[in-house]
Amino acid sequence: MALLGGHAAGANELAALVAAVLGAEPVVTTASDMTGLPGLDTLGWPAEGAIAAVSRALLDKKPTIVETDVTWPIPALPVTAGGAGKHRIVITDRIVPADERTVVLRPPSLVVGVGASRGVSEEEVLGLIAQALVSAGLSAASVTALATVEAKAAEGGIVAAAKRRGWPVITHHADRLAAVRVPNPSDAVLAAVGTPSVAEAAALASADELVTEKRKSAMATVAIARRRPRGRLALVGLGPGARDLLTPLAVAELRRSSVIVGLSAYVDQVADLLRPGTRVLASALGQEEARARTAVEQARHGHAVALVGSGDAGVYAMGSPALSLAGDDIDVVTVPGITAGLASAALAGAPLGHDHAVISLSDLHTPWEVIERRVLAAADGDFVVVFYNPRSRGRDWQLGAALEILGRNRAGDTPVAVVRDAYRAGEQVTVTTLGKLDPAAVDMRCVVIVGSASTRTVAGRMVTPRGSRWL
Ligand code: SAH
């Protein structure tokens, strides 16, 4: 299909799309796609040097190392320990020597602050930027934006220079720039635009550290600042277990990450989807706090981390402990998963057709008095009730107590569904009634759904009408 540009040009995706429409399987796409390696061009970062040779070396599992100035949140690369004749992937914004076994990837790390007098030419702006980059030993390919003061937002030479290079222009209000501490403030600039610095202050206001102080030409000033990479934490719900209930977005995040944190049972479930070189930090049951902490710490170190959990990662799961620890120094992405309650409801019929309450019967994190109060309230409101964590060996009386409360104002023939291992091996769906349910038949691998006063069983399926007027 496509002869060129399988990754960035989108041919692999196109092939997958066409295959989906035709109901066919794509047989051969580009070599790196087939083996699960991120193509060196998929990051969207400029790559220079021996792209073909290094891609080939990765495919052939020849010694290849990554050298990076700082940790970037990029997908796993299947690198090996070094060795004689090794290939290298160098990630840097610096101009570095490269040979025929080296690829240099240019991260989006630099912002150029620009100030100018009215009427400056595009050539003067670009010339000064080029000089500043060369003398600092930095690559223009890592420049992500020009930054300036609002008053210069429409300055022709700046706008044209940015357009020529495809850089966006970031503008800051003069008051914002005046508040930035810079090495070379100027009274003349203050008098002209209301801030003692434009180039240095605008660069710093859009990045983290100044790497090149102000340089001047006749009508322009330029300074360069560097952005520190931000780590990325993805909270990924894997659904109840079946592969076809794992969302495409969840798969994309797993393949976007270089570190996976989660219970070994869940990590194992998706092991075949992980890119070679992905670091897996799996742990045993319990240790939730430690898992959340590990994931956040890894992201803080700059990695792309996926914290995985069954169902939805935010429902009685790791999402909230992780986000309680995560500051605004990392990027967070959440991928919803099909939670056990919804998976179980679908297997039971349509029990959630009207208002419902979700209650966990685990008193591990919640005192029984609180749980009981919520069950009473759900009973009072005639909600359909979905019980998670209904019963375990050590917690064997709570489900009975909860059902007793609901039974006070619900008939004995109220439909109840017990769903064990929804969309997993050993799946069992039982639709029974409040009067007949034996709590002893329920365990931690079950969800229990108790109908409201209007829930019915129709042809063995649990159905809650949408309302008395809208059946
Ligand atoms: N984050 C998970 C819930 C974790 S709490 C989710 O969104 O699904 C654990 C409880 O979820 C179990 O005790 C059980 O009640 C329920 N559960 C999880 N997976 C299940 C499945 N496949 N079938 C039935 N119940 C399940």
Residue nearest to ligand 1 atom 11, measured at CA: 388
Nearest ligand 1 atom to alpha carbon 419: 24
| Mean pLDDT of all residues in 56-84 | 85
Residue 406: other Cβ atoms inside 10 A: 22
pLDDT digits (tens, 9 = 90+) for 378-411: 999 999 999 999 999 999 999 999 999 999 999 9
This prediction has a pTM of 0.85
Residue 4: predicted pLDDT? 46
Nearest ligand 1 atom to alpha carbon 424: 22
Residue 317: predicted pLDDT? 93
Q: Round to whole Å and give the CA distance between 433 and 430.
A: 10
Round the average pLDDT of the chain to a whole number and report it.
Answer: 91
Q: Give the contacts of 419 (CB within 8 A, at least 6 positions apart).
A: 343, 344, 347, 348, 427, 428, 429, 430, 446, 447, 449
pLDDT digits (tens, 9 = 90+) for 282-306: 877 777 788 999 999 999 999 999 9
Residue 39: predicted pLDDT? 61
**Which of 387, 447, 448 for mutating ligand 1's site (highest number of atoms within 8 Å of CB)?**
447
Ligand 1: centre distance to CA 239 (Å): 9
Joined together, the tokens standing for residue 415 give: 């439909």
Q: Round to whole Å and give the CA distance between 62 and 82.
A: 9
Residue 1: predicted pLDDT? 41
**What is the amino acid identity at position 335?**
V
Q: Is the pLDDT of residue 60 over 60?
A: yes
Query: Measured from the CB, is residue 419 less than 6 Å from ligand 1?
Result: yes
- pLDDT > 90: what percent of the chain? 79
In 3D, which of 441, 411, 421, 11 has the Cα closest to residue 239?
Answer: 421
Ligand 1: centre distance to CA 340 (Å): 5
Query: Contact, 370 vs 360, CB < 8 A?
Result: no
Residue 3: predicted pLDDT? 45
pLDDT digits (tens, 9 = 90+) for 450-462: 999 999 999 999 9
- Per-range mean pLDDT, top range of 6-10, 28-32, 37-41, 152-156: 152-156
